[in-house]
Amino acid sequence: MESAIPEHLRTIDARPRLTPRGYVPPFPAWTTRFAEDTNQVVMMYFGVQSKQQLNFQQLEAVINYLKQAQAPGYWTPAEYMDAQGFHHLVITAYWIDQVTFSHWFKESGFEVWWNATEREQEQVGYFLEIACPKSTEFETIFSDRNSPEGIAHLSNTMSEEILEHGYYGSMRDRLPIAQTDPLTGSTLAQEQQRSKSAHRIQIIGNDYLSLIRSGQDWTETKADERALYLNDVEPILNRGMQFLRDEGLAEGCLNCRYMTVLDPETGNVTDKSFGLAYFQDLQHLEKWAKSHPTHVAIFGEFMKYVQRMNFQIKLKLFHEVISVPAQAQFFEYINCHPRTGLINAFNGDKK
């Protein structure tokens, strides 16, 4: 068993680690291993929003850009319906370094397309959310080392079984930067929301903003396990994601989307989903995960699930968590309603 933090990113901790003395994880888990020269990766979320049901072909123009030179190392489409009744199509794309991303952004034609005034005149909304964490500013965890998701498609390999998981605080213990930095953020200030035009809003980044993308894949589940997941576990998960979507601001969650993954060739629905949530900082994410009734219910139901399956499950789980400085963020929204993305932080009910 090894540490989630690779040898070349380990430092002398300036804060106590939270791993219990003599701790043995209750089940195995793995993390990604990247080349030592990996510096700053790029995670991009591009979305289309409409009050009408969107057709998968409405992503065609952007998908064509993703096939140009310096294309992302991996991308995947998804969909969701928000609380305001707007349908969304979302592409998640990853680049292994900023140079490659910048070249793609400019040379593929996407930058011209995105900045064109025609986008503001269409009958749909668009958003572009980009985060560029350094290798020390993100962590991943997987329940199956042979099933990469997200940024793992760009990694060299998976680790051996890791120690830091299965206890509250393990997420922070897996994050290299947290060895020396408390990662304490602040609330978004009104001046961080800027109108570039009547239809285009940009949000200036916030230090230590934390993003979690947490996914489920039940493709290989059969009979009893599939029924148990879909009938018992998933509704509890859905309820937790709806809470963060509708009432999360009081918990420091600026926005949450619970999405269904689509087949990238056909647009058909798959047996995969993920929640994507932005938190004010890691501490707010940790607090919700540790003590809020909605997450306690999710964790409790999952533990009952794996126990009933005698810890022999085909369900695959993963997450990636980042904590990034303001200059490593970009958020822009075109014709989007006021509860979209980080605009929600300025318009939602903070209670």
The Cβ-side half-sphere exposure at 284, using a 13 Å CA radius, reads 24
Do 107 and 237 lie in a common domain?
A: no
DSSP 3-state assignment of 114?
Answer: helix
Please give the positions annotated as active site. Answer: 319
Q: Are 313 and 303 in contact (CB under 8 A)?
A: no
Do 230 and 316 lie in a common domain?
A: yes
Do 143 and 231 lie in a common domain?
A: yes
288 falls within a domain: yes
Q: Are 246 and 83 in contact (CB under 8 A)?
A: yes
Q: Which amino acid is at 287?
A: K
pLDDT digits (tens, 9 = 90+) for 29-82: 999 999 999 999 999 999 999 999 999 999 999 999 999 999 999 999 999 999
CA–CA dist 212, 244 (Å, integer): 12
Confidence of residue 114 (pLDDT cuts 50, 70, 90): very high
Do 175 and 106 lie in a common domain?
A: no
> Percent of the chain at pLDDT above 70?
99
pLDDT digits (tens, 9 = 90+) for 148-207: 999 999 999 999 999 999 888 899 999 999 999 999 999 898 889 999 888 999 999 999
- Mean pLDDT for the stretch of residues 293-311: 85
Helix axis angle for 293-308 and 234-247, nearest 10°, is 170
Q: State which residues form the domain around 220.
A: 7-37+135-179+206-326
Do 93 and 227 lie in a common domain?
A: no
CA 22 from chain center: how many Å? 31
* The model's pTM: 0.94
Do 310 and 332 lie in a common domain?
A: no
Do 195 and 291 lie in a common domain?
A: no
232 falls within a domain: yes
2 falls within a domain: no
How many structural domains does the chain have? 2
Biggest alpha carbon–alpha carbon distance for the chain:
61
1 falls within a domain: no
Do 116 and 84 lie in a common domain?
A: yes
